[in-house]
Amino acid sequence: MNTPPPSPSMASTYGAWLISLFVETILYGIGVLQAFLYYQWWGTDPRSIKLAVFVVMVLETVQLCFFFRSSYFRFVQRFGILQGDLVWSDSLQLFANYLSAFAVQIFFATRVYLLTREQARDFKASLAGIYAVGVLAVLQLSAGIAQTVLTYKLRSFSKLDETTAITTLQTAASLLCDIVITIHLCFYLARSKTGLPTTERLLKALMINAINRGFLTAITSTMTMILFLVFPHNFWFFLSIAPNSKLYMNSMLATLNMRGHIWRNAHPNGDWETINLGNMGTHHSTVPQVEFDTLPGSVDNTDHDSGSIATKSYHSSAVPSY
């Protein structure tokens, strides 16, 4: 005869829920500010990047709205009743969470592609890592969709232990994807070192940023896996799964917004030179060509007829964006 699980306490259910909502809302507000600054500073970015930022912001907004809908249902409509049934908004917020993480992972996969495509000797090897990121991102999304459907069918938090296998697969795939992206970026940035002080400072800053980005999202994925396996009948895993997608969003926006800061630290003298944009497709340099842009708040000295742009001196690009 199976022994029923002990009844969860308020602290381990609604307490964890409210803390998760609080943390997630703060991270969402930070993300909104970053998105606003991005569109203010980087208006000349390619449309594909602007669209990626817009899509991620929409998904994060939808996810938070569903989270608030679930909270309103439990704390207002069913005030005073400790109930463990799952509603439709619970499942949809999970789906929006996984979809947003997938969008950010694919975004960084494209950055890796742009980083390595000019290195003929390494590009074929790099493709293996890019494909691995793509496969892991699709796997975590597929597992997330399966988990969303399963939780909707179960309709009860007390039965979430039945989703252990699919939840473990989803978090493990997301964790491995973040690790592969971070290692890939650091490896190819390290191979681009030339010994020049400016280049060394630039690459060091990019590698530190890549490690910080991957570390935060990898930690939340690991915590979600551990907390769900150890406390399957409580909501402690909400403390990491809820903010996870917001960390993806903020890591993506921080990477885009801090390009100017990284560039200024690498070029303390701040002298100017002219780069011909028309030659960028065939330009070869010691640092991989990724993307080029003017600094936020800088004077746009673009000669639209000749395809040139006056930027701070850097022989490969004005602002790196991997």
What amino acid is encoded at 162 in this protein?
Answer: E
User: Which 3 state secondary structure label does DSSP give 275?
Assistant: strand
3-state helix vs strand vs coil in the chain, percent to 5: 70, 5, 25
Domains of the chain listed by start with CATH number? 11-265 (1.20.1070)
Burial tier of 231 (Cβ tally within 10 Å: 0-12, 13-18, 19+) = middle
Structural element, H or E, at residue 7: none
Whole-prediction pTM? 0.77
For residue 228, give the nearest of 179, 169, 299, 152 by alpha carbon: 169
List the pLDDT tens digit at each of the 322 positions of the chain.
Answer: 455 555 567 777 788 889 999 999 999 999 999 999 999 999 899 999 999 999 999 999 999 999 999 888 888 887 777 666 777 888 889 899 999 999 999 998 888 888 777 665 667 777 888 899 999 999 999 999 998 888 888 877 777 778 888 989 999 999 999 999 888 888 877 777 666 777 677 777 777 777 877 888 889 989 999 988 888 878 888 889 888 999 999 999 998 998 877 777 766 665 443 333 333 333 444 444 444 344 554 444 444 444 333 333 333 334 445 5
Tell me what pLDDT residue 272 has: 41
CA distance 71 to 90: 9
Task: List Cβ neighbours of 67 (8 Å cut-off, separation of 6 or more).
Answer: 21, 24, 89, 93, 242
Is the distance from CB of 67 to CB of 93 less than 8 angstroms? Answer: yes
Q: Which residue matches tokens 């630290």? A: 265
What amino acid is encoded at 220 in this protein?
Answer: T
Burial tier of 279 (Cβ tally within 10 Å: 0-12, 13-18, 19+) = exposed
